[in-house]
């Protein structure tokens, strides 16, 4: 029977169980939060991003979640520096051309500040003279730092990135650093 773990990855945590690259100055990893033998991450979430990660004990499901051929939607709440205009939002919706090629179209909506929103440690920088805004972005591919690169491409640098949904699985009210088992039904 396939099992899935939903994990709310905090900011600054690596999306792997070991950190072999920092001899003498270890960084937080999944092993500091999840003690469930046989589970492996289904995808990545950058150290400076937070939110939903999936782990599974089934290699087939792990591949299905991460392989872009299946076009599993991933939804993010993104705090950006600046005020999005219609042109920037349209560019993101249609797809932008990054150094590694064009992105697929994305679903984009400007939203109010999410509520409730847990504090990030360290906090996002605040500049009195530069406004910020929140976007809800859904993509169906998963390139390295893709959402950050997309928003930067249209002049909206990313300040905070929170993944809230992968396919059928949602972050909901899972607190940072906590996890729970979930169903894999419907795949």
74-81 and 132-139 strand pairing: antiparallel
| Buried b or exposed e, range 135-148, using 16+ CB within 10 angstroms | bbbbbeebeeebbb
Separation between Cα atoms, residue 187 and residue 183, nearest integer Å = 10
Of 46, 57, 100, 112, which one is the catalytic site residue? 46
Whether 46 is catalytic is yes
Largest CA distance in the chain: 54
Q: What is the CA radius of gyration of the chain?
A: 17
Give 72's contacts (C-beta < 8 A, 6+ positions apart). Answer: 64, 65, 140, 166, 167
**Which residue, 181, 164, 180, 162, is CA-closest to 10?**
162
Q: Which two tokens stand for residue 150?
A: 């997309």
What positions carry a catalytic annotation?
46
């Amino acid at each position: 029977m396939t099992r899935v773990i939903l994990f709310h990855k905090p900011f600054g945590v690596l999306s792997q169980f070991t950190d072999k690259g920092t001899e003498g100055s270890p960084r937080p990893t999944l092993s500091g939060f999840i003690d469930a033998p046989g589970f492996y991450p289904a995808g990545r979430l950058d150290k400076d991003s937070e939110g939903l990660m999936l782990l599974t004990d089934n290699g087939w499901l792990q591949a299905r979640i991460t392989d872009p051929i299946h076009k599993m939607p991933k939804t993010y709440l993104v705090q950006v520096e600046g005020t999005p205009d219609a042109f920037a939002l349209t560019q993101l919706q249609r797809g932008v051309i990054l150094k590694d090629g064009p992105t697929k179209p994305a679903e984009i909506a400007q939203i109010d500040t999410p509520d409730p929103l847990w504090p990030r440690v360290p906090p996002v920088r605040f500049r009195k003279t530069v406004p910020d805004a929140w976007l809800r972005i859904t993509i169906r591919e998963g390139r390295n730092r893709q959402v950050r690169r997309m928003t930067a491409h249209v002049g909206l640098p990313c300040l905070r990135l929170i993944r809230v949904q992968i396919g059928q699985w949602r972050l909901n009210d899972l607190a940072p650093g906590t996890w729970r088992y979930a169903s894999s039904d419907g795949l």
